Amino acid sequence: MTAVSETPVTAFEDNDQSPVGYGRMLRKEDPRFIRGKGRYIDDVQLPGMLHLAILRAPMAHGRLVSIDTTKAAAHPKVKLVVTGAMLAEKGLAWMPTLSNDVQAVLVTDKVRFQGQEVAFVVAEDRYAARDALELIDVEYDMLTPVIDVRKALEADAPVIRDDLEGKTDNHCFDWETGDAAATEAAFAQADVVVREDIVYPRVHPAPMETCGAVADYDGVDGKLTLYSTTQAPHAHRTLYAIVAGLPEHKIRVLAGDIGGGFGNKVPIYPGYVCAIVGSLLTGKPVKWVEDRSENLTSTGFARDYVMRGEIAATRDGKILAIRTNVLADHGAFNGTAAPVKYPAGFFGVFTGSYDLQAAYCKMTAVYTNKAPGGVAYACSFRITEAVYLVERIVDCLAHELDMDPVQLRLKNFIRPEQFPYETKTGWVYDSGEYESTMREAMRIAGYEELRREQAQKRERGELMGIGVAFFTEAVGAGPRKDMDILGLGMADGSELRVHPTGKAVLRISCMSQGQGHETTFAQIVAEEIGIPPADIQVVNGDTDQTPFGLGTYGSRSTPVSGAAAALVARKVRDKARIIASGMLEVSVAALDWEKGAFHVKGDPSKSVTIQDIAMRAHGAGDLPEGIEGGLEAQICYNPSNLTYPNGAYICVVDVDAGTGRVKVRRFIAVDDCGTRINPMIIEGQVHGGLTDGVGMALMEIIAFDEDGNCTSGSLMDYLIPTAMEVPDWETGFTVTPSPHHPIGAKGVGESATVGSPPAIVNAVVDALKPFGIRHADMPLTPSRVWDAMQGRPQPPI
Amino acid sequence: MQVPAPFEYERATSVEEAIGLLEKLGDGARIVAGGHSLLPMMKLRLANFDYLVDINDLHDELGYITVEADQVRIGAMARHRELLESNELGAAFPIFADAERVIADPVVRNRGTLGGALCQADPAEDLSAVCTTLGASCVIQGRGGERVVTMEDFHRGPYETAVGAAEMLVEVRIPLRPNGSSAYEKVERRAGDWAVVSSGAAVWMDDGVIADARVGLAAVGANTAGLPEISAALRGQAPSEELYARAGEIAARSCDAATDTRGSADYKRHLADELTRRALRRSVARINERA
């Protein structure tokens, strides 16, 4: 392991490099983005294209009595009006969710959340489509909504999912992990037990580009081309084939450029299906692009876990066990996108980065009259919630023991020699040097000096807080024996073709939403075969052009697809070696590879470059016996395990004692994501995730009033942070490669989103220590901080 | 994309023409200035109008900031950015720059206008609180000429003003008195957000005692409100922490706070107190700095 510090980047010259392989370089995709030449869903314009708008339910729970579309259909520019009843005739009123539940495409019986899709209009332009929505007359009978998750299972709670046969309550699923008895035994022998109720409120990914689709059905050759905002084009294509009964080879999904996903663009939304139906029925291309309010109120939310955390320890700070009970709000339909065997995602990593004797989690998931979803916002399949829980409860323990939170963590970390380490909930952590990573963060922060400053400020009545969090993620789903989504294994394909002149095209199955795949994947291939990244085109997001794979979410691109890219490049290099042996007239064993060329061992002057080899592979000359022409390969990579990135985060806040306002003064993030492919891109991902964390910790919540009206339906109400709320990020890193990953890399895209909220909350709670505060829930708005200072912290829901 | 209901659009090139258009088009017409409150409401279809009368061409005519001997006159089309960047205005009333720095963001400030802000009559709107604090009056012009109303009379309730049919706000007048200063304090959940609570203060000193003082609050009542009881309590007193505390206590007691997503009623009352103290303290400090 190496530990290298990074000072905040003030000069960018070092980014403008052209590594043949790993290293800093500017993103290949950025010229088109910064020139406004990206191709997002709303940029798609097709001849004769019509526009679709969706009528949404005004209440959270209500029975559909009647729906009259006569006036809307009579609008001069309207081509089509479709209701749930019409879809039901075609067997399309309901569709499967990614969690083996079903979700209404359009309401046929009753409304189950405010903003649910009731009918749609297809018109000549989007203005007419929107106007015509107001001409649809719908009569509803109001029903009492289930909004408070804690009351969802009460005997007299109205049953939301009466569409499910025999359903008499709002129970969604139960799930448990760990060993209840062993955990109870560990708690029984503990000197100290700390309990805390911890809420991770519902938040929303709110990508800059909302969701949308353009469906173009060609009635002559029976081919559906679907442009859509999807993080998983191949999985979507297969599901459309299954749902709509269209032959899979006649469906082409094109994702184009995606303006941010964060998990919001993993599910299939009713709007996509409506666009397809609209095109099938009109024979024209049909565009649907949701507006901001539709995105916030109806698409995949994140979190919404009400957790009780319990931690048991000895008096001197050895953590024995962690136990948690979780009440999970899944909204009206279980739309969670997670591997099927993991209904709670990877929440099982709630044991954190610590060597425990026992752990146990019991979870109950319920339906409520809220939008469906549940895995989104860069959460790594619920690891965000798990890490928040453990890092908060460990701080609560530090509070009770009156121990420095860093010292408590250092005392309990899994030690380097314990890897691979199997946790008490069955996860096999691949590698980590937790103490070194923690100490690197402390060094950058000047931790001891910060504590001295805090002590002085406390004497003056000033509220300064220092928060620490250490996370371990489990990313890169996943081994296909354990992990599938609706039966589709979570492996990823990759194809590499080297053209005669030595340029190459790499086709990958995952899908960039801004992560920089066109650059990172070109660098992965460059590192393996020595072709400069500029000469490698990376194709993603077109199911007709790329191999099958499950897409990009849960930080899985580099762990899975990145591995596939490296391995397919090695396969090409292996073939190149054989061709080179023919060209140099020596055996393959007599060749040495130096990035970009083979030379004869002991005689570097006898050498052929990869470009020479590519031309030979496509040329007229002889090739070694048994070798076909061409220089290309294809593989499908099935990971043997997840990768476990980790990191140490330290946050410094100042709280205005008079107003409760929190100022994040400093934030130090030391990440260990194994091998670093493009440090600039990693830093960008970390910066973005940290900013997300500030949002969640301090301001974001999708809130509902008691009638189930979503009160966070616009960006005036749902606050996301701006540059004004964030400090200059201070990033650093350690490098502990993943032992099982072909290039030792681990996923990093969500690390900062996972790790930063507990660091910020821990800092605010630390600042409020003079008030005797041990816990306060997010979002820590000025009002909620002030409430905590008055000794009455309130849960946000 | 959120799209408004259908509407027609007219562009006025003089105050006269704008008033004529309002007269001709009737109740279904609405003036649009910067548009940063009106257009979002229209896109959400919370507000629907048959006609918009665009008065942005009147910026030359109504974009002035004129500091005279005994008053400052500001045209209704003066944009936020111009208010923020005017050194003369900042010297006379520092409260303007304090407030403008925390109003929305540069994009909004480039377009939004003083007149638009006041006519929107949002209870949490900052410039309304500033004008209330400074005892401003509003010049409303109609076919029959102009009339002048105080800020108290200008705002009639949330989103309601004294501007009648076929009338428009053309100017805001602020009395200029010697030896005074002012300040604005706002708590927001995030930069660019509406105030949770804000408090403006203006203080005029005479020989070590407060000759006059005014406090205006935003986001704790139907409209931004001036608090005459505070003025009465401060007049003739020497500035002190105890005096600010008394003013804060009056502000907390007098405001009409309601719990909402921005904060609890208790918290807002506390802020009315805390921010009033801070604004008064800063106003007096500014006077002392100058002296």
- Taking an 8 Å cut-off on Cβ atoms, the answer to whether A703 and B261 are in contact is yes
DSSP conformation letters of A357-399: SEEEEEEEEE--SS--EES-SS-TTTHHHHHHHHHHHHHHHHH
Instruction: Residue A75: list chain B partners with CB under 8 A.
Output: none
Can you tell me the mean pLDDT for B254-281?
97
Query: How confident is the model at residue A243, as a pLDDT?
Result: 82
Residues B198-254: tens digit of each pLDDT: 999 999 999 999 999 999 999 999 877 779 999 999 999 999 999 999 999 999 999
Whether A787 and B193 lie within 8 Å, measured CB to CB: no
B241 touches chain A (CB under 8 A): no
A663 and A463 in contact (C-beta within 8 Å)? no
The helix/strand/coil state of A203 is strand
Within an 8 Å CB–CB cutoff, is residue A11 touching chain B? no
pLDDT at position A2 is: 46
Structure tokens at A636: 């499908």
How close, in Å, is residue B258 to chain A by CA atoms?
13
Q: Which residues of chain A have pLDDT under 50?
A: 1-4, 6-10
pLDDT score, position A9: 44
pLDDT per position as a tens digit, A306-330:
999 999 999 999 999 999 999 999 9
DSSP labels, B178-242: SSEEEEEEEEESSTTSPEEEEEEEEEEEETTEEEEEEEEEESSSSS-EE-HHHHHHHTTPPP-HH
- What is the predicted ipTM? 0.96
Q: Is B44's Cβ below 8 Å from some Cβ in A?
A: yes
A5 touches chain B (CB under 8 A): no
B191·A724 Cβ contact <8 A: yes
Tokens of A178: 């760990």
Q: Does A124 touch chain B (CB under 8 A)?
A: no
- Do the chains contact at B261 and A127, CB–CB below 8 Å? no
Interface membership of B87 toward A (CB under 8 Å): no
Which residue is closest to B3 within chain A, CA to CA?
A127
CB contacts of B262 in chain A (<8 Å) are 781, 783
Nearest by Cα to A765 from A411, A304, A392: A392
Put simply, the answer to whether A660 touches B278 (Cβ < 8 Å) is: no
Whether B184 and B126 have beta carbons less than 8 Å apart is answered as: yes
pLDDT recorded at residue A13: 59
Q: How confident is the model at residue B273 (pLDDT cuts 50, 70, 90)?
A: very high
A659 touches chain B (CB under 8 A): yes
Across the interface, which of A126, A658, A724 has its CB nearest the CB of B1? A126
Flag whether residue B261 sits within 8 Å of chain A, measured between CB atoms.
yes
Across the range B7-34, mean pLDDT stands at 96
Q: Spell out which residues of chain A touch residue B274, defining contact as CB-CB under 8 Å.
A: 658-659
Say yes or no for a CB contact (<8 Å) between B191 and A725: yes
Partner B contacted by A722 (CB < 8 A) = yes
pLDDT tens string B69-114: 999 999 999 999 999 999 999 999 999 999 999 999 999 999 999 9
Q: What is the pTM of this model?
A: 0.97
Interface test with chain A among B267, B271, B277, B278, by most A beta carbons within 10 Å: B267
Query: Touching check for A319 and chain B: CB below 8 Å?
Result: no
Tokens of B279: 């604004």
Instruction: Tell me the longest C-alpha to C-alpha distance in chain B.
Output: 61
pLDDT in tens, B162-188: 999 999 999 999 999 999 999 999 999
pLDDT of residue A587: 97
The H helix count followed by the E strand count for chain B is 13, 14
Q: In the A/B pair of chains, how many CB contacts fall below 8 A? A: 68
Q: What is the per-residue pLDDT for A17? A: 84
Mean pLDDT of B255-264: 95
